[in-house]
Amino acid sequence: MTATATAASAATAASAATGGALDTLLVSLQLTDSAFPSGRYTLSHSLEGFLQAKAVSATSMPVLLTDLLRHSIGPGDATALALAHRAAVTGDWDTVAEVDQRLHASKLNRELRLAAIRTGRQLLDTAQLALGGPILDRYATLVTAGRAPGCQAVAAGVAYASGGVGTEQAVASDLFAFAVSFTGAALRLRLTDHRRAQTTLRSIAPAIKEVTAAALRREAADLGGCVPAADIMSGRHERAEARMFAS
Amino acid sequence: MTDDVLRVGVAGPVGSGKTALIEALVPVLIARGRRPAVVTNDIYTQEDAQHVRRNLAGVLDPERVVGVETGACPHTAVRDDPTMNLAAGAELLERFPDIDTLLYESGGDNLTLTFSPVLADMFFFVLDTAEGEKMPRKRGPGITDSDVLVINKTDIARYVRCDLAVMTADADRVREGRPVVLTNSLTGDGIDRVADLLESYRRVSA
């Protein structure tokens, strides 16, 4: 919490007097909301590729989500988010840039890299406007200068830091946002319905907690997941003749 | 937007002639000395992007046509959360800084589709006569709020029991006099008028 307090931007400092904890919750809710414009609704996070290969069903979709959280998003995006968040809080911009580059390099498919960068830069753009603060401005300078690619997870980490949200809550929030985006894609791909999607989201809470804890422990050298099957599905999806989603 | 690029949206139902309008418009713009590029929002395939590249081969560099997937949400992609289109447009401008006109074709959608003012400086809504004479009377923000309403496929009106005079009068009435253009994009009828109206939205350089 000490580190978080250091990170407090002017806006957060002002709100601290009127209930900082509640304010950071509101920041989390806003950044996690699927209505936050970062284009995530165009992504299926490899799910459409799995469906095209007939390698996922309505029954196995939640299992696939849990697997991706544990072995792809957790070691990759969530870890990058945690590392970038901590580094942004302490003003260690070299580390923020390095984490961003590592995360980008860990994504093996073009469409996954492109999706990360497109959503990241758009998230950054709107967060700068909506949340504001020197932390986001500094990171935007790095991205514009080409020193950091601007991956979604890193941009989100910096945005959460700017809003005074603690590392753990930031990681859990973004993992939940991923799960919402994934189940939203599943809904449009007829792999779930509006009620079962909510059951899935609640049932994966233990996995999100576990993945959050692991991400908080991981170091930069361990950044990056290992999901060869998902990478192959994404690779095939990239060349698929027909698709609804950008990933 | 702070640059001198005119961003133009093209909306309308499935099959009304959004792609055909763009394919007819681009050569006219190029003949007028403009340097356009196209972002298509395909629903399920890259059909539109490929169609535009194929039909404009020799006129427009295929690299200046990109497709954006919309996750089955065409209206979200141009109105509620246009970020992926903004990203695609920004990437095109980064690669080809000479572009002065960006055409965004939305996925085919219903009559409520409008473009975010952040994404497009102006937008066309394309109807066609085969959809039925009644379409303008149905209104919907696409028909009433678009900057220019285009009624395409005028040549087949008589075969689909569509009275163009009624359709145009209804369109004029619900749009309170804002521009309505009749086109046949395959022969080029009306396209000069479309290009004139597009140009009228270009900011005068300081």
Closest chain B residue by Cα to residue A243 = B44
Using an 8 Å CB-CB cutoff, list chain A residues near B76: 41
DSSP class of B60: S
Q: Per the domain annotation, does B206 fall within a domain? A: no
Using an 8 Å CB-CB cutoff, list chain A residues near B87: 39, 118, 121-122
pLDDT in tens, chain B (206 residues): 557 999 999 999 999 999 999 999 999 999 999 999 999 998 777 788 889 999 999 999 999 999 998 888 889 999 999 999 999 999 999 999 999 999 999 999 899 999 999 999 999 999 999 999 999 999 999 999 999 999 999 999 999 999 999 999 999 999 999 999 999 999 999 999 999 999 999 987 65
User: Phi-psi category of A45—alpha, beta or left, where left has phi over 0 and alpha has psi -120 to 50?
Assistant: left
Look at A41 and B69 and tell me if their CB atoms are within 8 Å.
no
Mutation target to probe the A interface, by most A beta carbons within 10 A, among B44, B81, B93, B118 is: B81
Q: Per the domain annotation, does B205 fall within a domain? A: no
Minimum-distance CB partner of A185 among B43, B71, B87: B71
User: In terms of residue numbers, what domain contains B139?
Assistant: 6-199
> Which of B 16-45 lie inside 8 A of A, CB atoms?
43-45
Task: Check: CB of residue B169 under 8 Å from CB of residue B135.
Answer: no
ipTM, two decimals, is 0.82
Q: Which amino acid is at A166?
A: G
User: What number of other Cβ atoms are within 10 A of residue A33's Cβ?
Assistant: 11
Using an 8 Å CB-CB cutoff, list chain B residues near A245: 69, 71
> B81 to chain A nearest CA, in Å?
5
Any A CB within 8 A of B156 CB: no
Say what the pTM is.
0.88
Q: Could you give the C-alpha distances from A145 to A131, A140, B88, B179, in angstroms and in order?
A: 22, 8, 19, 44
Measured CA to CA, the distance from residue B35 to residue B112 in angstroms comes to 30
Measured CA to CA, the distance from residue B25 to residue B101 in angstroms comes to 11
Measured CA to CA, the distance from residue A82 to residue A74 in angstroms comes to 10
Q: Where are the beta strands (DSSP E) in B132-171?
A: 148-152
Mutation target to probe the B interface, by most B beta carbons within 10 A, among A34, A183, A241, A244 is: A244
- Number of domains within chain B: 1
Measured CA to CA, the distance from residue A158 to residue B14 in angstroms comes to 41
Measured CA to CA, the distance from residue A41 to residue A242 in angstroms comes to 17
Any A CB within 8 A of B87 CB: yes
List chain A domain ranges: 21-29+39-238
Measured CA to CA, the distance from residue B64 to residue B145 in angstroms comes to 29
Sign of the dihedral through C-alpha A127, A129, A133, A136: positive
Domain A21-29+39-238 sits in CATH at 1.10.4190.10
- The closest of B110, B84, B85, B123 to B15, measured between CA atoms, is B110
| Cβ partners under 8 Å of residue B36, min gap 6 | B26, B29, B30, B60, B64, B99, B100, B101, B102, B103
- Taking only the tens place, the pLDDT of each residue in B187-206 is 999 999 999 999 999 987 65
- Taking only the tens place, the pLDDT of each residue in B103-140 is 999 999 899 999 999 999 999 999 999 999 999 999 99
Using an 8 Å CB-CB cutoff, list chain A residues near B71: 41-44, 185, 188, 244-246
Minimum-distance CB partner of A42 among B45, B84, B86: B84
Any A CB within 8 A of B80 CB: yes
Element (H, E) at B127: strand B122-128
Measured CA to CA, the distance from residue A80 to residue B41 in angstroms comes to 31
Q: What is the pLDDT of residue A3?
A: 47
Using an 8 Å CB-CB cutoff, list chain B residues near A188: 71-72
Minimum-distance CB partner of A122 among B68, B72, B87: B87
- The closest of B49, B57, B64, B45 to B18, measured between CA atoms, is B49
The Cβ-side half-sphere exposure at A121, using a 13 Å CA radius, reads 22
Identify the CATH number of the domain in which residue B73 sits. Answer: 3.40.50.300
Using an 8 Å CB-CB cutoff, list chain B residues near A126: 83
**Sheet of B180-182, strands arranged across:** B65-67, B36-40, B101-105, B6-11, B122-128, B148-152, B180-182
Q: What is the pLDDT of residue B204?
A: 74
Measured CA to CA, the distance from residue B181 to residue B12 in angstroms comes to 14
Helix, strand, or coil (residue A162): helix
